[in-house]
Amino acid sequence: MKTITSILLIGLLVFSCNTTKRTTSTKDEKLENLKLNDTVSIANDELEYEIIIIEPGFNYWLVSQARPEGYYSQPFLESRNYQYVIEWNQRVLQPQLFDPNLYELQIDYQPYIDYGYEVNYKLYNYFIYFQLTYKQRLAGFDPRI
């Protein structure tokens, strides 16, 4: 299966002991489960492309903060993703200037391939999440939700 990227970023997992348990509602439990689910897999089986994002908190952020699917048009997402990918890949190639722990692997994103809405939506939102979380600015755009 062709891969846009194997892993965008491997986050560090921090385990801690908790001596007390608080009671939570079903909604709170679902949100907590999203926080614990650190792997998001986005696949377009028809085109045989896949993105795997391993990032603590991204899945929770995607559900709770990001604009809903359908808010942005696919051409908008494709345009921004292409610009973000160019900047990302340049930073991967310059570890002396940019933190190699943030920019580990290049992303193979081709502008003339239709990856589908879901792949573009989640990739775009990962770039927004990444910029907000790590106080980075890619491609000259202010990250906004």
Encode pLDDT of 28-47 as tens digits: 665 555 555 566 665 656 65
Please tell me the distance from the alpha carbon of residue 34 to that of residue 12, in angstroms, as a whole number: 16
pLDDT for 123 equals 95
Query: What is the DSSP pairing of strand 49-54 with strand 39-44?
Result: antiparallel
Length of the chain: 145
| Strand-pair partners of 5 | 51
| Strand-pair partners of 52 | 41
Distance set, CA 77 to CA 27, 82, 124, 125 (Å): 30, 8, 6, 9
- Of 112, 125, 143, 111, the closest CA to residue 51 belongs to 125
pLDDT for 17 equals 33
Distance set, CA 67 to CA 90, 91, 108, 128, 129 (Å): 28, 27, 25, 11, 12
Q: Which regions of the chain does DSSP assign to beta strands (E)?
A: 39-44, 49-54
| Neighbouring residues of 74: CB distance < 8 A, sequence distance ≥ 6 | 117, 120
Encode pLDDT of 86-131 as tens digits: 999 999 999 999 999 999 999 999 989 999 999 999 999 999 999 9
Mean pLDDT over each residue of the chain, to the nearest integer: 78
| Strand-pair partners of 132 | none
